Amino acid sequence: MRNLLLGVLCTYLLGCIDASQQTIRKTQGLVYCSEANPVSFNPQVTTTGSTIDIIASQLYDTLLSIDPETAEFKPEIAHSWQVSDGGKVVTFYLRKDVQFHHTDYFKPTRFLNADDVVFSFSRLFDVYNPYHFVGDANYPYFQSVGLDQLIRQVVKVDDYTVRFELFNAESSFLSNLATDFAVILSEEYANHLAALEQKELFDTYPIGTGPYKYKHFLRDNLIRYHRNEHYWKHPVPMQQLVFDITTNGTSRIAKMLTKECDITAHPSATQLSVLAARDDIRVDKAPNLNIGYWAFNTEKPPFDNLLVRKALAHSVDFEKIMQAVFYGNGIIARSHLPPSSWAFQAQDHMPTYNPEYARQLLVEAGYEDGFSMTLWAMPVSRIYNPNARKMAELIQSDLKGIGISARIVDMSGTHS
């Protein structure tokens, strides 16, 4: 379940170093308490949820989007599109009034056109694109869905028409272009930085077409965006948007209560009932389109053994996890898809907590004395797993009951 904490009476407030700046924020902006620093300011190069939440829809636009209520495709930078050649050719017709951000570090001289679309997507798969290897040279979302292998070429038909030619028809192609990762970047800005021999700044000092433009980033402190006065879709109501970076969940709640934040991410499930009882706080909960799962490296023994994997699946008390980690704000998955998906269908014969059966399976697999393994736990909170460390500890305890010794590690270097 997705938990979003909203302040209704304490809008546009942020505690500041400077009193005059505080007055400006109260009257002309909104403050969002975020749980992490962004790993980049370009959605193409990351799949980190906290980063996408901070940068994607604020700074950028896509060719099309998906209506959250009807699930129908909506035109964005492309006002229309046409599918031909049995689905292997998709032609987009672009708007002519879309401007890129005017910032302290770049002033565009033209409107967005087909060159920008060609550049944005060729960077993903064309090794001759001058920015393909800049930065991490890794485009995880597009590689995971195979989009880099699907697109044969992107062709500029004219200044406001772009043709995508695919190796084969793919039903998910438009859906992938409607994600937060398929943003349109400025070729003119890329050329500008290349001329200055500063390509590495391209994903750090962003230029997009979204409702807000980049102003300032102070790591572990805040990100400040200013209103894009040239936004093509509609007037942007707020002058600025501030992301207060507060990695500790308790500190985020404290900032809500002291009116330093208007909205905060991932409140602790243990605090929801108390917060919901306050008149100045509204707690919204809605089903989210994701699931959490325990994955095994099936190329590595003993996880290449089906009986071992079945034993592990039957060794965990999921009901205990739902209470201790989610506090009733989640449900046990019965499919690879969540119930909020139109394609959801509950599966029969899901694994149940049965440690005796799990031990029997281990004996059949030849591991009657158990074995040792490593559990990786995320060091950050996520909607689908608000406390990975606690979840790992519960799994570790259950595994011990069937003779398996598990060591918990996380990316911060902590282990137990």
The pLDDT assigned to 47 comes to: 87
Peptide bond before 237: cis, by omega within 30 degrees of 0?
Answer: no
284 against 54, higher pLDDT: 54
Q: Is the pLDDT of residue 285 over 80?
A: no
The pLDDT assigned to 414 comes to: 57
Long-range contacts of 124-131 (CB under 8 A, 24+ apart): 124/44, 124/148, 124/151, 125/149, 125/151, 130/190, 130/194, 130/199, 131/190, 131/199, 131/202
Give the residue-averaged pLDDT of 294-314: 95
The CA distance from 54 to 33, in Å, is 10
Instruction: Name the pLDDT band for 413 (thresholds 50, 70, 90).
Output: low
Q: Is the pLDDT of residue 79 over 80?
A: yes
The pLDDT assigned to 268 comes to: 72
φ/ψ of 289, rounded to 5, equals -85, 60
Q: Is the pLDDT of residue 13 over 70?
A: no
The pLDDT assigned to 327 comes to: 80
The CA distance from 19 to 293, in Å, is 46
Q: Is the pLDDT of residue 11 over 50?
A: no
Identity (one letter) of the amino acid at 270? T
The pLDDT assigned to 8 comes to: 23
345 against 94, higher pLDDT: 94
Token code pair at residue 165: 């030619």
The pLDDT assigned to 362 comes to: 97
The pLDDT assigned to 339 comes to: 84
Give the residue-averaged pLDDT of 328-350: 84
pTM, two decimals, is 0.75
Widest CA span of the chain, in angstroms?
Answer: 71
Q: Is the pLDDT of residue 274 over 90?
A: no
Token code pair at residue 286: 């809605």
The per-residue DSSP string of 66-96 comes to E-TTT--EEESSEEEEEEEGGGTEEEEEE-S
**In the chain, what are the domain boundaries?**
36-244, 306-409
Token code pair at residue 86: 């049995």
Instruction: Name the pLDDT band for 15 (thresholds 50, 70, 90).
Output: very low
The pLDDT assigned to 19 comes to: 46
The pLDDT assigned to 26 comes to: 45
Identity (one letter) of the amino acid at 240? Q
The pLDDT assigned to 292 comes to: 86
Strand partners, 224: 216, 242
The CA distance from 101 to 203, in Å, is 14
The pLDDT assigned to 12 comes to: 23
Q: Is the pLDDT of residue 7 over 70?
A: no
Q: What is the fold of 36-244? A: Dipeptide-binding Protein; domain 1 (3.90.76)
Identity (one letter) of the amino acid at 92? F
Cβ neighbours, 10 Å, residue 232: 18
Give the residue-averaged pLDDT of 71-96: 97
Instruction: Name the pLDDT band for 6 (thresholds 50, 70, 90).
Output: very low
Q: Is the pLDDT of residue 286 over 90?
A: no
Strand partners, 29: 240
Percentage with pLDDT > 90 across the chain: 66
- Sign of the torsion formed by the C-alpha atoms of 365, 367, 370 and 372: negative
DSSP letter at 44? G
The CA distance from 288 to 265, in Å, is 14
For the chain, how are helix, strand and coil distributed in percent, rounded to 5? Answer: 30, 20, 50
The CATH H-level (homologous superfamily) assignment of domain 306-409 is Dipeptide-binding Protein; Domain 3 (3.10.105.10)
Per the listing, tokens 């002291």 go with 258
Residue partners of 324: CB distance under 8 A and separation at least 6 = 390, 394
89 against 9, higher pLDDT: 89
Instruction: Name the pLDDT band for 412 (thresholds 50, 70, 90).
Output: low
Q: Is the pLDDT of residue 20 over 60?
A: no
Give the residue-averaged pLDDT of 153-175: 97
Summarised one tens digit per residue, pLDDT across range 353-396 is 999 999 999 999 999 999 999 999 988 777 788 889 999 999 99
Rounded to 5°, the CA angle 38-293-370 comes to 120
Compute the mean pLDDT over every residue in the chain, rounded to the nearest whole number: 88
- Sign of the torsion formed by the C-alpha atoms of 341, 77, 112 and 123: positive
